[in-house]
A = this chain, B = another copy of it.
Amino acid sequence: MTADAAPERLNHWVLTLSCIDSPGIVHAISGAIVAARGNISESQQFASTETGRFFMRVQIESPAQRDEFEAALEPVTARWDMSWELDEVGRPLRTLVLTSTAGHCVNDLLFRQHAGQLPVEIPLVLSNHGTLRDLVDFYGVPFESAAVTSPEAKASFEARVLEAVDAHSIELVVLARYMQILSPELCEALAGRCINIHHSFLPGFKGANPYRQAHARGVKLIGATAHFVTSDLDEGPIIEQNVVRVDHSRSVSELVAIGQDEESRTLSQAVKWFAERRVLLDGARTIIFR
C-alpha cells in the first residue's frame, strides 16, 4: 500500500475521530493534515442528530512519520477533546477468533484472510470443542480447545481469552459461532472490540430453536446480524445485516444451511469494515463509513 518516491517514501494513514459537533472541525483537521504534508485520498464525515457528536474518517498520503503527524494533530484533537486513532492503511488487525463446533464462519474468515481479502492476522483460535482443529490447522493457525461444562471451566476459559488478548496484543475478538454466553465482566473488558454474529428473522423469535419457529410461522426472509457484544445479549450496536428469501418448501435443515451462508458473509463483512477502521460507535448505534 506504499509507493517509493525518490526523496521520501509516502506513508498511507487512516485517521478516525469523534468529538462534540461544532463549526470549524473539518477546517482544523484538514489544516493539520496540510501541516503534516498530507494529501487526503478519502474522507467521510457524519454529524449525529442522536448524540450531537461529529465523526470523521480520513485516508491520507504523506511522507510524514507518526511522530510528525501526531504533533501536527495534537493542538486540534486537544482543542476539540477528540477521541481519535491514527493507523497505517492496510495494517492487519490482530484478531482472536472464538468458536465452537460449526465451521462455516471460521472457514470463511480463514479463507478470506488467506486470500488477502481480509486485513487481519489471526494468531490463535480458541474453542470450547475440538471439532474444528483440522480446519484451523490447515490454515496454519494455532488452535486451542477446552470444554466449558461448568462455571469453573467457563471462568477458566474466559481467563484464557483475556490472557491471549494480552499476550497477542489482540485488537479484535470475533465470536464465530461461539455458543457460550460471555460473562458481563468479559463483555465489559472487550467493549467495542468484540463482534458476534447471530441469525435474524422478521419477526424475531424468542427462545430455543428459532429456525423451527421460523419454519412453523412460514417466514419469507431469513438473515443474519453482526453486532458488537454487550452484556445485553444480542442487543449490541448493529454493524451489518443481510437477509435472503425462502419459501414454504424449505425444511428446517435447509433454513439452517441458508442461514449459515448469511452468517458467514455478514460476519466477514463486519470484520473487514472494522479492520479497515470503518466502524465507529455513536452511542447505541454504529456509523459505517463504507
Contacts and interface: CB of A to CB of B under 8 A. Distances in A.
A203 interface: yes
Nearest to A50: B216
A264 to B, nearest CB: 10
Interface in A24-78: 24-27, 30-31, 33-34, 37-50
A215 interface: yes
A286 interface: yes
A251 interface: yes
B202 A217 contact: no
A148 interface: no
A265 interface: yes
**For this complex, into which size category does the number of interface residues on chain A fall?**
35 or more
Contacts of A204: 202-204
Contact of A240 (B220, B249, B282): B220
Contacts of A42: 45-47, 249
Interface string A128-143: 0000000000100000
The copy count of this chain in the complex is 4
A30 B40 contact: no
Contact of A251 (B49, B237, B240, B251): B49
A218 B238 contact: yes
A271 to B, nearest CB: 14
A218 to B, nearest CB: 3
A23 B34 contact: yes
A285 B50 contact: no
A111 interface: yes
**Chain A contact residues, majority secondary structure:** mixed
**Which one of A47, A138, A242 has the greatest number of beta carbons of chain B within 10 Å?**
A47
Nearest to A31: B27
Contact of A243 (B38, B49, B202, B265): B202
A192 interface: no
A262 to B, nearest CB: 11
A240 B201 CA distance: 13
| Residue among A31, A38, A44, A241 facing the most chain B CB atoms (10 A cut-off) | A241
25 contacts: A22-B39, A23-B38, A23-B40, A26-B33, A27-B30, A27-B31, A27-B33, A27-B34, A40-B47, A42-B46, A46-B248, A48-B248, A50-B216, A107-B111, A138-B138, A202-B223, A202-B241, A202-B243, A204-B204, A217-B237, A220-B239, A220-B240, A221-B242, A221-B243, A261-B265
Given A46-B249, A217-B237, A218-B238, 20 more contacts: A23-B39, A27-B30, A27-B34, A41-B47, A43-B43, A43-B44, A46-B248, A203-B204, A203-B234, A203-B235, A216-B284, A216-B285, A219-B241, A220-B239, A220-B241, A221-B242, A221-B243, A247-B288, A247-B290, A248-B286
